[in-house]
Every structure is written in structure tokens, then in C-alpha cells.
Structure 1
Amino acid sequence: MAIGLVNVSGMNVELFRGAAEIWRFEGDSKRYSDGVAVDNKGYVYSTHDYNIIRKLDPEGKEVWAVALGDMHIAIIAVDNKGYVYSEVGGYSIIKLTPDGKEVWRFGTFEKNSYTKSVAVDDKGYVYYGNYNGLVIKLDPDGKEIWRFQHNASVESVAVDDKGYVYCGSYNSLVIKLDPNGKEVWRFQHDDSVKSVAVDDKGYVYCGSTNNFVIKLTPEGKEVWGFQHDDSVKSVAVDNKGYIYCGVSRKIIKLDSNGKKVWEFYGAYSSAVAVDDNYVYTSNSDNTIRKITKELYIKK
């Protein structure tokens, strides 16, 4: 949508509110790319090609790729030192160096304990949820600190800068845990919570299979809800309070009041990540895209 004209070097150009693609990286096959993360230097990490994790530089060029196990990899996180965390073999969490070398792996190997989600905090503590309803906190060396047992699959996990943990579950709950793994509150949603994110003020954002994005206060009270026409696969929030939602064939940007800012159309969107300036998305066509967050110019 054009929102005005500006003069650039004596030529009038249109300003558009929306996102523009900067680059794309295409995988080697047509399998889903389910996970994407970005570090504080702009390096991008993605799950690709069934069992492969890739690191891309800020220009979208491959730095390295590693194959892990023989099962599909769907989740990924990166800490502020460039260490990478993902699943391996369906049951375990693995930590990789910034060069893609294994540091450690941790798994419960209990029946149906498939790993569903992972997050890491500023101190390198790792949090992951599994199909059996467990949320487990690990120290930076991969040792278990505590576990919290829920009664349904933990579909998503997020952690804030104070160590509070937020879990989205298959049975429609958002649960907040304190840094010791004790429940603080729970919010009953209307459907399975596929993604959860938290901003630097403690507000929580969750996306569900019944097409809603909901914002909660730090106390677990609903602020607003935004409804789309398809399931919300992923949610991310930036340092200005803007929310980015991965839904079928597009990314939607919302402001802090839940109003739509723009839509970016592409392939079926699986995951979304953000940094200070850009948005990153993984898609069903096995493609990673880097797109702008703000205005772009069309001559």
C-alpha cells in the first residue's frame, strides 16, 4: 500500500508500507524447513533437508551445514555467543559450537518423549518441552536443573530476561513458570498453543491452531486478540513491541495494540525470527528468507 511520495535525488518515488525480500536461501530438496533463528550478529540458523542444520551469514551465504541423526529436525535456538541448540534423533537436545561442532547432548529417552520446543536464555541455560508434557531446564553444560510435568504435549517454550519460562501446550494452556520451575499462573486458550513469545516487559504472545494471536499481561490476563483466517504457526516479538506471525503463505506484522501493519506473501510459513532490523522466515519450499521490517521504496 502506497503511503506517500518522497523526492530522492530529484526524482519522486513512492513509499510503501510493507516488507521487501532482501535475500533467500534455497535448500537442496523440497522438504519442509521448519525452524529458523538469528543471533546478535545477524547470522541465521535453520533446519533443512530432513536432518540438516545450516548456518548462513548476514548476506545469506552458507557458512556450514551439519547432519544430525536420521530424523526430521524442526526446532532451533541460538544464544548470545553463537552456540546453537536443536533436537537430534527425536528424543534429545544437542548443543553445537558456533562452528557447528557438538558440545553435548541430553535426552530422557522415555516413551513418546519427542522433543517439541527449545529456548535459551542470556546466561546459556536451556529450556525444552516434549510430547510427554515435560519442561526441562538444563545448565550451560547440559546438566538437568529441574523439570516441570504438564499433562499434555508442550508445543512451545520461551524464556524472559529474568528466567521466567512460558509454555504453550496442546491442551490449550499457556503456563508461566518461575526460575525454579514452579507454576506462577496458567491461561486457558481455546485451542492448541503452537507458539509463544515474550517481550522485554514480560508481555506474552501466543499463536494457536484456531487462528488467534493473543497478548497477555505479565500476570496472565488477556489484553487483546487478533484473529486470522488460518492457523498461526509461529510468533516472534521485537524490541519495539511489534509482533510477527507465521501463517499460511504469509507473515503478518502487528503493532503493540494488535492492529495489522503489513502482510508479506510467500510460501507456506513455518517459522519466524526477528532481530533489530529484519525478519527471517522458513517455508515449506525449503527456503529461508530475510525481509525488511519497515518501509521500502518503489521507484
Structure 2
Amino acid sequence: TRIFAVSPAEVYVGSHDGTLSRIDLTRNADRVRWTEAVHSEPITAIVHASNILYTASEDGTAKRLNAQDGATIWTHTHTGAVQSIAVDVRGNVYTASADSTVASLNPEGDVRYTFTHDAPFTHVRVNPNRQAYAVSEDGLIHRLSVDGDVMRVIDTEGSIEHFVIGSESIRTHAYVALSTGEVVRYDFDGDIVWRFLLHDTPLQGITLDASGRLYTIGTDGMIHRTDPKRVFTSLDAGAMSVANNSEGHVFVGLEDGTLVKLNAAAETLWTQTIHGAAITDIVIGPDGFIYTASADQHIAKLDENGVVDWMNSEHTDTVSAITIDAQGHVYSASADGTVRKLNADGDTLWTYTGHDGAVNGVTVNLDGEVITAGADGTVRKLSSTGSNIWTFTDHDGPVNDVIVDSEGRIYTVSDDETFRRLTDNGREFWLYSRFINNPVNVIPVRTLTLDADDNIYIGTELSGSVSPTVRRIDEATRVSIFHNFINTVQSDMFVRALVNTFIIVFVSVPVSVLIALLLSVWLNSIKKFQGFFQTIFFLPYVTNAIAIGMAFAVIFNREFGLINFFLTEVFGFSEGLNWLGRVSVDENVTGIRRQLQLYLNLPMLSLMVFIIWGSLAFKIMVFLSGLQSIDKQYYDAARVDSTPKSRVFRRITVPLLSPMIAYITITSFIGAFKEYTAIVGMFGVNLGPPGDPDRLITIVGLVYKSLDEMGVPGRLSEAAATAIILFFMTLVLTLFNMYVSKKRVHY
């Protein structure tokens, strides 16, 4: 019935039969650490604080438990079901019960106070000031002082389904989810900040994140995230269009022909009925006047107070869109198939009739040239006098909107699910089709707009089970031919993959080359069992890497692995290390220490051991071959001179093996940059410990991850960009190694 997650690796689950279980998600088997019959009826709430568990149950009890083993520390009993439980910063416990009482208990379980009401309580929360908020079935919220006195009563005038509180400094605000689907925010004094219908059905849950953002989920299947300072206002009719001016005023056109002006706080400044039908578009002119288009076939010009300056009625059908140029000329597009240019007084200068159907959009560039979007699937560019310059016909459906940015670039959206950029001469520069993800629902792209920085915002239509979306496509991504590379290197996953790859490359290669060289010298010096040891060391080279990785996963297993066996049984460790477990980072640690915790951890260490061991075979084989080809007279001469072995190694062996060392170093760096198989072998395709996917992802792993998601448009391009970046990194390091080897290698 209830679940409480301490971390992605550990949860506590309460069930209908009153049992409570601790689940360790880092284990591959035997994940249930313990199960205790804590209550005799279903558990209604679980809270975890400072390694202590607090539970509430329909059996009328609230309990404090030891989180390590589930042992009961104390029990408090109500005469009715305990619906909710909360804990303050000092460990005091608050319970809300169906017996119409709220009890406050100290950490030892003794009653501090009891508050009684004439209706059952359903929720209790406590703020940082240790003031309790108690919610009852009659829709009231009681804010209680530290001593249990009533500080304020809030009447929500509804049935409260869910309730959470948040804090800004020391002042607490409350969010109430009503059975109607409404969410209400109350301030510290109990006054309504805003009230808005977020869902069309009752809510299933409501919560706040660490940044104070509100999340709600309803039985309508929708999840909303709301900024805590978000301002809502209710309108008397459906909103059809919106615009804002430089002073922060917002103009909203309604479906009944009414224009509403709001300030930045969503307070209504004035309301004017301008049209006899829906207002389809609103534009603010350079002179500050407001221009509106309507389904009543009219175009209107209004001053900032809502007074109509003029109205043009020459269109014979819905006016779909309007735009204004720097000289104050008005351009209109209509369902009657015409485009009109009006002067600042509302008089028609010219009319274009070249579209074969409704005209959905119109825009104008800095040269006074007009670009139109038609339901006939065409985009047309007209001169400042209304003559056709070119026609673009590659859209497979109605073109719904068109805009032009400050550089003259043209952008269009269409029912064919595409967003395109056209050149100034009417050729397609690129096509964005990330909307084509769903074979069941066609998702028309309805509208687009620009901000002051030429970033584009595009909006899609509700289609089947696909909700309407708004997407931002920034200027840097659109205009740069390297946008795939920019997207790739700016992603957090690429940074993680790059750091992991560099750790593997610059740690495993030097260590493995040195170990292989020393082992080769030792093998070359022994006579007995030389062939046996050569075979042993060569086995990893001919064994499947995935199989070896699985074997290493067993060796490093926390519960029964060989490494932990030696640590506990031989070296006296109290418990084994979680070599392959989720990486935990101390939230209080910042800077370089935090980065070290993120990247230099036990899973990375165990992976490095596997990679180094697996790479020794080939290196030993090459070095051993080189050692056996060295002329023995050099060693004989050194022996005659009683040269120490260390000096023989540095002055004879290493210089004469330098070509082999250079070859091994270069190929090892190339191989390390491509590391992927070892990670899959030890950690599986998630490329990380359980509950911590992609923790050990490398550049090659990122390529495969993108290819796995190639059904999502853009992923294939990102995979290609990542592969090219990897190629150039490998090339640069290889050229550097070759440059160094020219001075250090003796042939």
C-alpha cells in the first residue's frame, strides 16, 4: 500500500497485511533485507528520518522502528485508523487519525499534546518551525503552534484529496489538491495565492521537489510540473490568441471576440469586446498599438486603452493571421484565400489571390517582402508590391505558419509533421522531423514564434494519445552546420563518457604496459614451466571477453565474491566492499572532491582491474617475442662487467625493446579509447551498477546507446558525431605518440 524510497538503491515497502519490508536494490538476489509484521492492518504511511522509520496503520497505531532490522522502539495508539504521520527537525512525531485527533509525540513516544476536532483527520504535515498542518475531512486545514494551539484555520470549501507544504525562508506555503482536480496555493497567512484547475479529474498524488516545484498526477493520466511562483488567471471564455508588449502587459484574445489586457501579476487591466467572433491573432505594432484579427472577417487597430482606432472588413472569411512591418503597414492572411496589405490607416494597398485555398500564415522581412503559408501546401514569397517572387511546394500537407528571423531566414511548420528552414530564394536548407515518432498518430505542427534572440518555439497539436507540446530550438543549433557536434559535446552524458574514457585510457594503458613488460622479462628469464606460464597468460586473449567479464562480476560480488572473501576472512575486514554497487556521493562535498567521488570509485576500480588483466596477454606475447630476438651478447657483456640487473633493464632491455614498446603503447591507446566490451561483461548493457545506469559509460558506449535509440530522430546523427569526435581524439593522441617515438625509439 505504501512505499518509501531512501535512495534509488534502498526502499521500504508496507503492505495490506501490515508487514514492512526493507528492499536493497543493489543486490542481484535476496534483495529483501528483512520483513517484519509491524501492524495488523494495512500500512497507510511510512516516513524515514535519521535511520529511523515511522509507520502509521489502519489498526490505529503509529510506530517508531529501527531501520536496520525493523525492530519496534515504541508504539502510540489511537482509537481510529492513523491516516498520516510526520516528523519535525527535532524528531517529534505528529499523527493524524480517523478518531478526529492529531497527536504530537516526543522522540521517546510520550504525548506532547493532542488536538481534537469534530471531523476525522486525513493528513498531517509539519514545517521547519515545528508548526503542524492538520487536514480534516470537512475541508479544513488547522495550523497548530509548537504547543498545539490553533494559529489559523483555512476553509478550502472542498474535499481535500492530497496536501503538501513547502517553505520559502521561514514562511510556509501550502498546496491543496481538491477532488475537483483543482490545486490551490495558500500563503503563510492562509490567503489564496492562486487556484487553478490543473486536471479534469481527481488527483492521484501531489509532491514538491527540492527546488520547490510542484508535481501533480491525475486520474486523467497527466502529470503537471508547476513553478511555485506561477501566476494563474481564469478567463470567461476560451483563449484563442495571446501577445505581450515591452512593458510586460499581456493581451489575450478570447473565442467570444473579447480582448483582455493583463499586467505581469495576471490582474485584469481592462476587457473590451472588439469582435463578434473569436480573435485569431494579436500583434503589437512598433507604435505600441494593438492589432487584432478575427473569425468575424475583421481586422482592428486599438490603442493601449482598448479604444478602436479603425477596423477593416474587406476579407470575406476568417482572418487567420496578421503581421506588421517597421513602417506600420499591416499584412493579413485569410481563409478566403487572399493576402492583403493595409496602410497605417487601415486602407487596402494591394490584394494577392495566388493561393489555391485558405492562407494560414503571413510574415514580412526587413526588405518589405512578404512570405505566406497556405493550406494548399505552398509557401510563397511576394514583393513589397504584391507580385509573386517564388513558390515552395515540398510540403505534403497544409502549411500552418511561417516566420522570418532578423537574418532573413524563413521557417515553416505543417500538418506533414515537419518544421523546415528555407533560404531567401525559396530552397529547403534543412528539415526537422522529430515529430514523426508515432506510427499511430499524425502530429501536426501548428504554430511557431521567435523571441528577441531568434530562438524558435514550435507548438504541436493534440493527436490521439499524444499531448500538445511546445519545443524550443535555439539559434546556435539551427544556424551552425556543426549543430550535431554542439549538441553532443554540451550533453551531460557526453561529459561523463569522456571522463570515464580518459580515466580508462590514461590509467589502464601505462599500468598494463609496465606490468606486461615486467612479466615478460620474468618469463624470459625462467627455464622451467615457461611454456605453461605463457599459456596461462595468453588465455585471456583467446577467451570471450563477455564471459570473462561475467566471471569478474562474480569475483567482485559483494555477497559471495572471492575478493570480499579474502578481505573478510584473511585481512579481517568487518564486511566486504560493494565493488559493483551504486556510487553514492556525499551531497555536502563539492568541487574536485565531488568529481573524484563520481568517477574514481569502487565500480571503476574493479573495471580497471578487469581491463588491465584482460589486456596483458597480447602485450606479453609481443614483448616476449622482442626479448627473445635481442642478441645475447649484450647481456653477456653486461654480466662480465657485473652490471646490476636494474641497470641492464634500463640500459639494454628497454632501449632494444623500444620499437615493441612504441607499437604496444600506440595500439593500447587506440584500444582503450574503444573500450566497451569489458563494461558490458561486468555490468551488463546498462553500463553501470544496479540502480545507477550509465555510470561507467564510455565514448563507444555512448555511440551504441544513441544507435539503440535511433528510432528517435536525431539519435543517429548524434551517434555519428560522437564517433567522429572519438576518431579525432584517437588520431591526435596517436600522432603525438608517433612524434615522441621518433626521439625515443631505437631501431
TM-score normalized with structure 2 length? 0.31
What residue in structure 2 maps to residue 238 of structure 1?
A: 405
Find the counterpart in structure 1 of residue 449 from structure 2.
273
Q: Which residue of 2 aligns with 1:287?
A: 469
Letter in 2 for 1:231: P
Alignment size in residue pairs: 241
1:160 aligns with 2:325: yes
Residue in 2 that maps onto 1:169: 334
Q: 2:364 aligns with which of 195, 198, 209?
A: 198
Matched with 1:224 is: 390
User: Partners in 2 of 1:162 and 1:105 — Cα distance?
Assistant: 28
Assess, with a 3 A threshold, how the Cα gap between structure 1 residues 62 and 258 changes in structure 2: closer, same or farther. Answer: farther
The alpha-carbon distance between structure 1 residues 115 and 253, as it changes in their structure 2 partners (threshold 3 A), is same
Of 175-184 and 197-206, the range deviating more from structure 2: 197-206
SS at match of 1:66: coil
* Structure 2: distance between partners of 1:73 and 1:202: 31
SS in structure 2 of the partner of residue 171 of structure 1: coil
Tell me what 2:303 maps to: 139
Look up the SS of the partner of 2:397 in the other structure: coil
How far apart are the structure 2 equivalents of 1:124 and 1:207? 26
CA contact (8 A) 1:250 1:269 kept: yes
Kindly state the Cα deviation for residue 63 of structure 1 after the two structures are TM-superposed: 6.1
- Deviation, structure 1 residue 131: 1.6
Which residue of structure 2 lines up, in the alignment, with residue 251 of structure 1?
419
The answer on 1:94 being equivalent to 2:271 is no
Instruction: Pick closer, same or farther for the CA change 1:63–1:244 going to 2, 3 Å.
Output: farther
Separation (CA, whole Å) in 2 of partners of 1:183 and 1:253: 30
Equivalent AA in structure 1 for residue 291 of structure 2: Y
Match of 2:348? 183
Query: Higher helix share goes to which structure?
Result: 2
For 1:62 and 1:133, how far apart are their aligned partners in 2? Answer: 41
Aligned-pair CA distance for 1:149: 0.8
Structure 2 Cα separation of the partners of residues 216 and 294 of structure 1:
24
Runs of 4+ in 1 over 4 A off after TM superposition: 60-63
Residue 29 (structure 1) shift: 7.1
- Matched to 2:427, the amino acid is K
Match of 2:609 in 1: none
Match of 1:122 in 2: 286
Task: Report Cα offsets for 1:256-281 as digits up to 9, x if no partner.
Answer: 11111112222431110123342111
Distance in 2, Cα, partners of 1:82 & 1:158: 20
The Cα of 1:123 is off from its aligned counterpart by 2.6
Distance 2:364 2:229 in 1: 30
Output the amino acid matched with 2:431: E
Name the structure 2 match of 1:4: none
Deviates more, 1:152-161 or 1:174-183: 152-161
**Structure 2: distance between partners of 1:74 and 1:108:** 14
Structure 1 pair 277–129 and aligned structure 2 pair: CA distance change class (3 A): closer
CA shift digits 1:8-37 (9 cap, x unpaired) = xxxxxxxxxxxxxxxxxxxx679xxxxxxx
Alpha carbons of structure 1 residues 277 and 288: separation in structure 2 relative to 1, 3 Å: same
Distance 1:89 1:290, change over 3 A: same
Hey, what's the Cα distance between the residues in 2 that align with 1:240 and 1:291?
Answer: 16
Kindly provide the CA deviation profile for residues 232-262 of structure 1, in whole angstroms up to 9, marking residues without a partner as x: 1111110011111111222111111111111
Match of 1:264 among 392, 415, 432: 432
1:29 and 1:253 mapped to 2: Cα distance?
36
Contact 1:247-1:268 at 8 Å conserved across structures: yes
Q: Which of 293, 303, 312 is residue 148 of structure 1 equivalent to? A: 312
Give the 3 Å change call, closer, same or farther, for CA 178–29 of structure 1 in structure 2.
farther
Contact (CA 8 Å) 1:193, 1:206: kept in 2 or not? yes
Code of the residue aligned with 2:389 in structure 1: it is V
User: 1:149 and 1:187, CA in 2 relative to 1: closer, same or farther beyond 3 A?
Assistant: same
- 1:225 deviates by 0.9
Distance change (3 Å), C-alpha of 1:263 and 1:65? farther
Q: Distance in 1 between matches of 2:260 and 2:235?
A: 11
What code does the residue aligned with 1:124 have?
A: G
Classify the secondary structure of the residue corresponding to 2:247.
Answer: coil
Whichever residue aligns with residue 286 of structure 1, its letter is P
CA-CA distance at 1:67 after TM superposition? 4.1
Q: Which residue of 2 aligns with 1:33?
A: none
Alpha carbons of structure 1 residues 62 and 147: separation in structure 2 relative to 1, 3 Å? farther
Which one has the largest radius of gyration?
Answer: 2
In terms of fraction of residues, the more strand-rich structure is 1
Q: Provide closer, same or farther for how the CA distance between residues 103 and 232 of structure 1 changes in structure 2, counting only shifts above 3 A.
A: same
Do the aligned residues in 2 keep the contact of 1:64 with 1:100 (CA within 8 Å)? no
Deviation at 1:79?
2.3
| Superposition deviation, residue 62 in structure 1 | 8.4
Q: In 1, distance between residues paired with 2:419 and 2:306?
A: 34
Residue 262 of structure 2 aligns to which amino acid in structure 1? Answer: L
Q: Tell me, what secondary structure is at the counterpart of 2:399?
A: coil
Instruction: Give RMSD over aligned pairs.
Output: 2.2
- Structure 2 match to 1:83: 249
Aligned residue in 1 for 2:745 = none
Query: Would you say the 8 A contact 1:79–1:121 is kept in 2?
Result: no
Q: Which residue does 1:5 correspond to in 2?
A: none
Match of 2:373 in 1: 207
Q: Which SS does the other structure have where 1:64 is aligned?
A: coil
Q: Which runs of 5+ in 2 are unaligned?
A: 1-197, 201-225, 436-442, 462-466, 486-720, 723-747
The CA distance in 1 between the partners of 2:454 and 2:296, in whole Å, is 37
CA distances 1:199-226 after superposition (whole Å, capped 9, x unpaired):
2221111101110111111111111111
Secondary structure of the 1:74 match is strand
The corresponding residue for 1:16 is none
